[in-house]
């Protein structure tokens, strides 16, 4: 919360509330539309979390549904599909951390070493273009390239090599998901790291070079420490979001690879909440995810603090 | 707090230490102290960056070329066409003549324009309303806003609220529930708070109210960030499809382009009426590949149109948005 | 089940027979909470059901053969009746305007097309047809019911009854049709009266009638073990040589030539396990309800399938779980014996098969028992699984108007109405080629078998214009096997299982383990472990107990 409070010098606050209200009425009025929308579409639905402790029946509403205590959670923890989707989520998170996370850092270093600013900007603009694509579009493009009727198999077929459909293979789904994520988002993620690189004082490099430090030593002793803060921040964000691996990406591809490979916590809550008419069950799964996620954010911050970094919020 | 902190940090870095450093590097010349690159290193670097660019551009190229190909060319290639032979705009003619696609294009544009205006107005107002430190209740409202980034009732309760309000099958259900991005408000607010206090004080002495200050002082000085936020909203509306699945799955005349893309290209169902299915066989034939690719191109074109405009404002705006990821 | 209902499985439902879909027993086709309507087997219901008045309008070329009460083969038609008779006099509608929602697996016709217009004119109402993507139907409808925005007329396939909570919607959002149809009242709608009683029972909730059945049949079975008649014949093998699971295993060894790219089998399990006496889901033993997971026969059946897979007789793509190309493999002769869903033995199968190999001919083995002894017992499924419902907001006169429309839609095979509903207007949507209605371009665009027939349709027939061999083979096979068809426990009963037991009922984890087992990836002992888990922490035992107490003891078996 710290940054929110670091503000320009305050107006005088010693005036009476009435005077201040009069003075700031325009300002207050300006916040009304946003606050109203948030109240209606974010705060009112919070009551929906109550349904996790019910056997909620949408036909009779929240107040008339039966209260069942923790029964939904008991059922949830006895459901191997739930554990399957949790395992999938964590596994995907882990694989993305290993395969995805280092890529933008490496690309940022590489791009930063390009001397021509125009070339650098051009490459960057192209690399983060897919960030603005929808998942429908991104997956459609993958399908056209790697699907059963896609470019790759078209090539394999015309050369009489047996085809290989990665789009419907549950065993390699994790790699598919990760490569899609990398394709779509890695270019965008570069930006933060580039900013961090730009912020490193060049004098440090110069004096270090004068002292005889080579390319790799400078990378190790100046560049990486200079990026450490941002890397740690992104890592903490990633860990805190370990249970969020995407929703639409899985929703669209679930049918092709089957639920065993494609169900993550978010799609589990959707499919077993809405599509089996078991709203409370879905709500319980959602609440479970939220609580664990909050714990993860808190834990990740502790970790960051232990490394002497800020994390999301300062100590 | 997650994101705000980062905003402050990147801003700090940019303003305090960054600027000089960046300026030095931008000249495009190698610093004297840096050793000359090795040939192998240069090649590897070039190759890697070439791959990065190719991975994005090659699929787009193939899709565009295929969309411009005749059925004969598609048959010859056995699918996607890599190099244009006989170029035709037939697929685009068929596509734009198809009522479903035409409708979807209009719906998508409509939702994107209306949604972006609504979101932007609401966010700019709120951001300014919260940017004058010391104003009444601004801290409370901020906390109220920020809490929504961590607490969420989830999909189903939100759906039920929207339908209780009569949103099922209505366009507003695709816009209002997600109209406010607290993150974007915080981005705007951070910039608005930066606006020179002297300037504002001077205007105030001249008798300007907050509305006028926002309009004639704050907004003109923060055009870049406002444009970038508008872009984020616009892209969000243009790309959304899940809400359609929730609120109007059977109203095919109300579908936006993304849903049409999902249904007719990704799922290969073929465009309504334009393709053979009929009682002879239960299996519908999918639309011709060139037509499918034309639909894909159609969803990309608007993005490409705003892309250059966006680049202009990027130096300032994007840093803040990048974290949003 | 049913969430990932694919087109292949769907076809097995619609094409001619409403079959039990692959993984489903009857229970998965049940509604919501314990407090809701359950049963559909009471005396009150029996008196509420419509009387059956068979239609004599059109004579079949191959008449039905009865196999017991409510069990009947589908009649066969070799030619499309010339000079179609009219079964509905006048125009049924009175100019009302209604919206309808039906699932559609395929291309959605454009709104207000020439076929819809022709239909509306004939029906005397304006039906605003809104077909919705069948692959997403399972998630579309629950949002609609939660929003209380059901259309006037909607198709709710019964394999999704639990998902859609039909048990609870009946009476709250869906109209009770009992006052309009019970007993002799249905005679006002002769074509509806010609739908067998069992099909109406499949759409009953509590003691009342709600659903209007489509594609009803007296020969509803999940599927059977199918083979390439032409390929076996060439090797001098006849179907009657296979009388037991061992025989089939030996045949598998003989036919498999992995180096030559030929494997004896594609997936068999789904349609083969009944050979071991395993029911679709329930069995009653000494007055007590037993779930199939508690039966040792299930594990024996799995052991056999596991051995088939590990012996290398199962096509590798099938082992990898690729079902989408199953037909392609079969047509190409890369597999010879496959489990085949009911309804898939039809003209389009024959056309695709002969396109790949002119000699192509599909056939089914007669039902047999695993050990080759005793009488095979095949459970029939619900008499209809495609049921449409009317909105409870409709006024009585509107309901009557729509029932008259339904009566028109249920006109028998070969009638003038049937021709219009299924093939459109002659000269516009179809032309008669060799006595067979053949689609024109306009017809191919807009006449969809999954639109109006999904609101109401006559009882199923077997007819494959242009592929007489299929009609003859299939009707003969049905006639030879109809004696083995038996009613399962809870036949045609709509049971509302408490929501909290839905997961235990679906038993997805056990089903997944079973699938891995018949693909040779998991041992039978691992399935056993999965079942043990399901029984305890998965809530299986509780569910069985609930079913026993609340359904079996109260309403009986329904057999």
- Contact call for residues C392 and C499 (beta carbons, < 8 A): no
Tell me the pLDDT band of C23, cut-offs 50, 70 and 90. very low
Q: Report the C-alpha gap between A4 and A27 in whole angstroms.
A: 18
Structure tokens of A24? 């700031």
Q: Report the C-alpha gap between C231 and C132 in whole angstroms.
A: 41
Asked if B25 is an interface residue toward chain A (Cβ–Cβ < 8 A), one would say yes
CB-based burial label for A306 (10 Å; 0-12, 13-18, 19+): exposed
- Interval C319-376: pLDDT, tens: 877 777 788 889 989 999 999 887 788 888 888 888 888 999 999 999 999 999 989 9
Q: Report the C-alpha gap between B45 and A114 in whole angstroms.
A: 9
- Contact call for residues A163 and A169 (beta carbons, < 8 A): no
CB-defined contacts B:C, below 8 A: 109
Contact flag C162-A276 (C-beta cutoff 8 Å): yes
Q: Report the C-alpha gap between A87 and C223 in whole angstroms.
A: 35
Which ranges constitute the DSSP H helices of C178-321?
178-181, 190-193, 197-202, 229-234, 245-255, 269-272, 296-310, 316-319
* Distance to chain B for A313, nearest Cα, Å: 7
User: Closest chain C residue to A165 measured between Cα atoms?
Assistant: C322
- Partners of C3 on chain A (C-beta within 8 Å) are 259, 271, 275-276
- Partners of C506 on chain A (C-beta within 8 Å) are 276
Write down the pLDDT at residue B276. 36
- Contact call for residues B302 and B82 (beta carbons, < 8 A): no
Which of B62, B123, B153 lies at the smallest CB-CB distance from A151? B62
C246-271 average pLDDT score: 92
CB-defined contacts A:B, below 8 A: 317
Q: What are phi and psi of A86, to 5 degrees?
A: -65, -45
Whether residue C107 is predicted with pLDDT greater than 80 in this model: the reply is no
Contact flag B100-C15 (C-beta cutoff 8 Å): no
- Contact call for residues C183 and C177 (beta carbons, < 8 A): no
Which of B99, B246, B270 lies at the smallest CB-CB distance from C107? B270
Write down the pLDDT at residue C17. 26
CB atoms within 10 A of CB B305: 10
CB-based burial label for A16 (10 Å; 0-12, 13-18, 19+): exposed
The percent of residues in chain B predicted with pLDDT above 70, rounded, is: 80
- Partners of B284 on chain C (C-beta within 8 Å) are 106-107
Write down the pLDDT at residue A310. 66
Write down the pLDDT at residue B57. 94
- Counting as contact any 3 or more CB pairs under 8 A, the partners of C are A, B
Q: Which of C120-129, C211-220, C504-513 has the lowest mean pLDDT?
A: C504-513
Asked if B245 is an interface residue toward chain C (Cβ–Cβ < 8 A), one would say yes
Asked if A306 is an interface residue toward chain C (Cβ–Cβ < 8 A), one would say no
- For residue C223, the cross-strand partners are C341
Write down the pLDDT at residue B29. 67
Q: Mean pLDDT score of chain B, rounded to an integer?
A: 78
Q: Report the C-alpha gap between B54 and A86 in whole angstroms.
A: 35
Nearest CA-CA partner of A130 in A116, A121, A140: A140
Write down the pLDDT at residue B156. 77
Instruction: Give Cβ neighbours of residue C241 (< 8 Å, ≥ 6 apart).
Output: C247, C251
DSSP string covering A157-171: HHTTPPP--GGG-GG
Q: Report the C-alpha gap between C429 and C426 in whole angstroms.
A: 6
Contact flag A260-C139 (C-beta cutoff 8 Å): no
Q: What is the DSSP letter of C50?
A: B
Write down the pLDDT at residue C209. 93
Q: Report the C-alpha gap between B36 and B25 in whole angstroms.
A: 16
Asked if C508 is an interface residue toward chain B (Cβ–Cβ < 8 A), one would say no
- Partners of A145 on chain B (C-beta within 8 Å) are 59, 62
- Partners of B274 on chain C (C-beta within 8 Å) are 445
Q: Which of B150-154, B312-316, C10-14, C466-470 has the lowest mean pLDDT?
A: C10-14
Q: Report the C-alpha gap between C305 and C522 in whole angstroms.
A: 11
Asked if A198 is an interface residue toward chain C (Cβ–Cβ < 8 A), one would say no
- Please indicate whether residue A142 or residue B224 has the higher confidence score (pLDDT): A142
Q: Report the C-alpha gap between A141 and B266 in whole angstroms.
A: 9
Q: Which of residues 393-432 of C touch B (CB under 8 A)?
A: 422-423, 430
Q: What are phi and psi of C409, to 5 degrees?
A: -65, -25
Number of separate helices (H) and strands (E) present in chain C: 25, 21
- Contact call for residues C200 and C64 (beta carbons, < 8 A): no
Whether residue B28 is predicted with pLDDT greater than 80 in this model: the reply is no
Determine the residue among C508, C527, C538 to mutate to test chain A binding: the one whose Cβ has the most chain A Cβ atoms within 10 Å. C508
Q: What is the DSSP letter of A51?
A: G
- Interval B285-301: pLDDT, tens: 456 788 888 989 999 99
Asked if C453 is an interface residue toward chain B (Cβ–Cβ < 8 A), one would say no
Determine the residue among A2, A6, A27 to mutate to test chain B binding: the one whose Cβ has the most chain B Cβ atoms within 10 Å. A27
Instruction: Give Cβ neighbours of residue C177 (< 8 Å, ≥ 6 apart).
Output: C208, C209, C210, C212, C390, C399, C403
C290-313 average pLDDT score: 95
Whether residue B64 is predicted with pLDDT greater than 80 in this model: the reply is yes
Give pairs for C323-329: CB < 8 Å, separation 24+.
C323/C6, C323/C8, C323/C267, C324/A168, C324/C6, C324/C8, C326/C8, C326/C266, C326/C267, C327/C8, C327/C352, C329/C266
Could you identify the residue written with the tokens 């259309």? C151
CB atoms within 10 A of CB A85: 26
Burial profile C318-340: b = 16 or more Cβ within 10 angstroms, e = fewer: bbebbeebbbebbbebbbbbbbb
Between helices A135-146 and B289-322, what is the axis angle to 10°?
Answer: 130
Q: Which of A224-233, B26-35, B91-100, C390-399 has the lowest mean pLDDT?
A: B26-35
Beta C378-379 vs C485-486: how paired, if at all?
parallel
Write down the pLDDT at residue A300. 83
User: Closest chain A residue to B31 measured between Cα atoms?
Assistant: A206
Whether residue B282 is predicted with pLDDT greater than 60 in this model: the reply is no
CB-based burial label for B212 (10 Å; 0-12, 13-18, 19+): middle
* Distance to chain B for C268, nearest Cα, Å: 24
User: Closest chain C residue to A77 measured between Cα atoms?
Assistant: C537
Whether residue B17 is predicted with pLDDT greater than 50 in this model: the reply is no
- Partners of C149 on chain B (C-beta within 8 Å) are 163, 168-169
Whether residue B181 is predicted with pLDDT greater than 70 in this model: the reply is yes
* Distance to chain B for C133, nearest Cα, Å: 8
Whether residue C300 is predicted with pLDDT greater than 90 in this model: the reply is yes
What ipTM score was computed for the predicted complex, to two decimals? 0.84
Cα–chain center distance at B253: 24
Structure tokens of C232? 């076996």
User: Closest chain A residue to B176 measured between Cα atoms?
Assistant: A37
CB atoms within 10 A of CB C545: 11
Asked if A24 is an interface residue toward chain B (Cβ–Cβ < 8 A), one would say yes
- Counting as contact any 3 or more CB pairs under 8 A, the partners of A are B, C
Which of C142, C321, C537 lies at the smallest CB-CB distance from A275? C142
Which of B247, B269, B280 lies at the smallest CB-CB distance from C106? B269
CB atoms within 10 A of CB C301: 25
- Partners of A275 on chain C (C-beta within 8 Å) are 3, 138-139, 142, 163
CB atoms within 10 A of CB C500: 23
Nearest CA-CA partner of A196 in C274, C81, C368, B6: B6
Q: What are phi and psi of C37, to 5 degrees?
A: -70, 130
Asked if C439 is an interface residue toward chain B (Cβ–Cβ < 8 A), one would say yes
Instruction: Give Cβ neighbours of residue C63 (< 8 Å, ≥ 6 apart).
Output: C75
- Partners of A281 on chain C (C-beta within 8 Å) are 499, 503
C376-381 average pLDDT score: 89
Q: Report the C-alpha gap between B286 and C106 in whole angstroms.
A: 9
Which of B159, B271, B277 lies at the smallest CB-CB distance from C448? B277
Whether residue B321 is predicted with pLDDT greater than 60 in this model: the reply is no
User: pTM here?
Assistant: 0.80
Asked if A58 is an interface residue toward chain C (Cβ–Cβ < 8 A), one would say yes
Asked if B251 is an interface residue toward chain C (Cβ–Cβ < 8 A), one would say yes
Q: What is the 3-state secondary structure (H, E, C) of A53-104?
A: HEECCCCCCCCCCEECCCHHHHHHHCCHHHHHHHHHHHHHHHHHHHHCCHHH
Instruction: Give Cβ neighbours of residue B298 (< 8 Å, ≥ 6 apart).
Output: B95, B101, B105, B257
pLDDT less than 50: residues of chain A: 1-10, 315
């Amino acid at each position: 919360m710290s940054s929110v409070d670091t503000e320009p010098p305050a107006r005088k606050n010693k005036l009476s509330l009435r005077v201040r209200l009069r003075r700031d009425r325009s300002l207050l009025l300006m916040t009304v539309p946003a606050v109203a929308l948030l109240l209606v579409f974010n705060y009112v639905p919070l009551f929906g979390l109550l349904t996790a402790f019910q056997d909620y029946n949408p036909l009779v509403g929240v107040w008339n549904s039966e209260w069942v205590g923790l029964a939904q959670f008991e059922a949830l923890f006895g459901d191997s599909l739930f554990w399957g989707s949790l395992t999938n989520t964590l596994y995907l998170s882990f694989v993305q951390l290993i395969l995805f996370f280092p890529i933008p850092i490496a690309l940022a270093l590489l791009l930063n070493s390009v001397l021509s600013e125009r070339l650098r900007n051009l490459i960057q603009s192209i690399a983060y273009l897919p960030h603005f694509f929808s998942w429908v579009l991104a997956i459609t493009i993958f399908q056209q390239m790697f699907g059963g009727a896609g470019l790759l198999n078209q090539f394999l077929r015309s050369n009489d090599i047996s085809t290989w459909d990665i789009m419907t293979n549950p065993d390699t789904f994790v790699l598919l998901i990760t490569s899609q994520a990398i394709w779509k988002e890695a270019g965008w993620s570069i930006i933060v790291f580039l900013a961090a690189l730009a912020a490193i004082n060049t004098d440090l490099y110069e004096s270090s070079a004068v002292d005889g430090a080579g390319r790799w030593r400078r990378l190790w002793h100046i560049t990486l420490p200079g990026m450490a803060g941002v890397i740690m921040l992104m890592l903490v964000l990633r860990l805190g979001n370990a249970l969020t691996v995407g929703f639409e990406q899985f929703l669209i591809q679930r049918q092709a690879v089957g639920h065993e490979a494609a169900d993550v916590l978010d799609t589990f809550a959707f499919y077993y909440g809405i599509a089996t008419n078991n709203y409370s069950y879905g709500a319980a799964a959602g609440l479970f995810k939220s609580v664990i996620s909050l714990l993860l954010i808190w834990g990740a911050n502790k970790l960051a603090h232990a490394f002497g970094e800020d994390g999301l919020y300062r100590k | 707090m997650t994101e705000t902190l980062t905003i402050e940090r990147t801003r700090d870095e940019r303003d305090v230490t960054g600027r000089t450093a960046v300026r030095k590097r931008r000249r495009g010349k190698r610093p004297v102290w840096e050793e000359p690159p090795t040939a192998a290193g240069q090649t590897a670097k070039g190759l890697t960056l070439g791959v990065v660019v190719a991975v994005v551009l090659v699929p787009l190229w193939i899709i565009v070329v295929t969309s411009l190909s005749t059925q004969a060319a598609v048959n010859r290639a056995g699918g996607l066409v890599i190099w244009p032979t006989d170029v035709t705009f037939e697929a685009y003619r068929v596509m734009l003549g198809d009522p479903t696609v035409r409708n979807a294009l209009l719906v998508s544009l409509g939702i994107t324009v209306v949604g972006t205006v609504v979101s932007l107005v609401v966010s700019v107002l709120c951001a300014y309303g919260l940017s004058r430190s010391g104003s009444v209740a601004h801290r409370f409202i901020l906390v109220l806003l920020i809490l929504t980034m961590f607490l969420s009732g989830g999909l189903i309760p939100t759906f039920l609220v929207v339908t209780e309000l009569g949103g099922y099958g209505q366009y507003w259900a695709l816009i209002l529930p997600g109209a406010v991005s607290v993150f974007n408000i915080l981005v705007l607010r951070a910039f608005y708070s930066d606006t020179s206090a002297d300037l504002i004080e001077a205007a105030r002495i001249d008798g300007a109210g907050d509305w006028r200050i926002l309009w004639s002082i704050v907004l003109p000085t923060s055009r870049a960030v406002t444009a970038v936020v508008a872009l984020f909203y616009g892209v969000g509306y243009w790309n959304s499809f899940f809400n359609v699945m929730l609120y109007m799955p059977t109203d095919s005349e109300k579908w936006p382009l993304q849903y049409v893309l999902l249904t007719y290209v990704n799922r290969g169902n073929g465009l309504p009426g334009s393709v053979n299915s009929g009682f002879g066989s239960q299996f519908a034939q999918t639309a011709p590949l060139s037509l499918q690719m034309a639909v894909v191109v159609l969803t990309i074109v608007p993005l490409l149109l705003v892309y250059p405009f966006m680049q202009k404002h990027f130096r300032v705006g994007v840093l803040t948005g990048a974290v949003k990821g | 089940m049913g969430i990932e209902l694919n087109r292949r499985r769907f076809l097995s439902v619609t094409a001619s027979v409403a079959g039990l879909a692959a993984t489903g027993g009857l229970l998965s086709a049940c509604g919501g909470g314990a407090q809701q309507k359950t049963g559909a087997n009471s005396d009150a219901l029996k008196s509420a059901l419509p009387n059956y008045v068979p239609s004599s309008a059109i004579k079949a070329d191959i008449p039905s053969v009865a196999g017991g009460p409510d069990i009947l083969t589908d009649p066969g038609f070799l030619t499309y009746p010339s000079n179609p008779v009219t079964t509905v006099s006048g125009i049924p509608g009175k100019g009302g305007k209604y919206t309808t929602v039906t699932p559609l697996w395929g291309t959605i016709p454009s709104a207000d097309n020439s076929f819809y217009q022709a239909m509306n004119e004939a029906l005397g109402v304006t039906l605003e047809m809104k077909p919705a993507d069948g692959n997403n139907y399972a998630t579309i409808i629950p949002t609609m019911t939660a929003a209380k925005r059901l259309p006037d007329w909607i198709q709710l396939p019964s394999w999704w009854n639990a998902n859609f909570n039909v048990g609870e919607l009946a009476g709250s959002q869906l109209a009770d049709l009992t006052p309009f149809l019970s007993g002799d009242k249905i005679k006002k709608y002769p074509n509806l009266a010609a739908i067998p009683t069992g099909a109406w029972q499949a759409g009953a909730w509590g003691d009342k009638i709600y659903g209007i059945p489509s594609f009803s049949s007296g020969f509803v079975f999940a599927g059977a073990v199918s083979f390439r008649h032409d390929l076996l014949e060439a090797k001098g093998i006849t179907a009657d040589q296979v009388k037991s699971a061992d025989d089939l295993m030996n045949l598998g060894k003989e036919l498999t030539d992995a180096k030559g790219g030929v494997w004896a089998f594609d997936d068999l399990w789904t349609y083969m396990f009944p050979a071991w006496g395993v029911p679709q889901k329930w069995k009653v033993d000494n007055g007590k309800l037993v779930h199939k997971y508690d039966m040792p026969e299930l594990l024996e059946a799995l052991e056999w399938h596991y051995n088939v897979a590990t012996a290398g007789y199962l096509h590798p793509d099938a082992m990898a779980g690729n079902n989408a190309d199953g037909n392609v493999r079969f047509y190409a002769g890369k597999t010879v014996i496959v489990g085949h869903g009911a309804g898939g033995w039809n003209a389009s199968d024959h056309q695709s098969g002969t396109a790949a190999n002119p000699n192509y001919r599909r056939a089914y083995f007669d039902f047999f028992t695993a050990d080759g002894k005793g009488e095979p017992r095949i459970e029939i499924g619900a008499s209809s699984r495609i049921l449409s419902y009317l909105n409870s907001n409709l006024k009585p006169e509107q309901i009557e108007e729509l029932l008259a429309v339904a009566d028109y839609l249920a006109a028998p095979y070969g009638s003038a109405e049937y021709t219009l509903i299924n093939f459109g207007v002659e000269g516009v949507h179809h032309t008669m080629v060799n006595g067979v209605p053949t689609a024109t371009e306009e017809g191919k665009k807009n006449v969809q078998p999954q639109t109006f027939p999904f609101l109401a349709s006559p009882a199923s027939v077997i007819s494959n214009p242009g592929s007489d061999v299929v009609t003859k083979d299939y009707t003969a096979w049905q006639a030879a096997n109809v004696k083995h068809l038996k009613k399962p426990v809870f036949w045609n009963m709509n049971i509302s299982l408490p929501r909290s037991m839905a997961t235990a009922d679906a038993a997805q984890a056990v089903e997944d383990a079973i699938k891995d087992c018949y693909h040779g990836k998991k041992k039978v002992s691992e399935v056993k472990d999965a079942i043990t888990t399901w029984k305890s922490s998965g809530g299986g035992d509780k569910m069985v107990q609930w079913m026993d107490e609340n359904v079996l003891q109260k309403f009986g078996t329904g057999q």
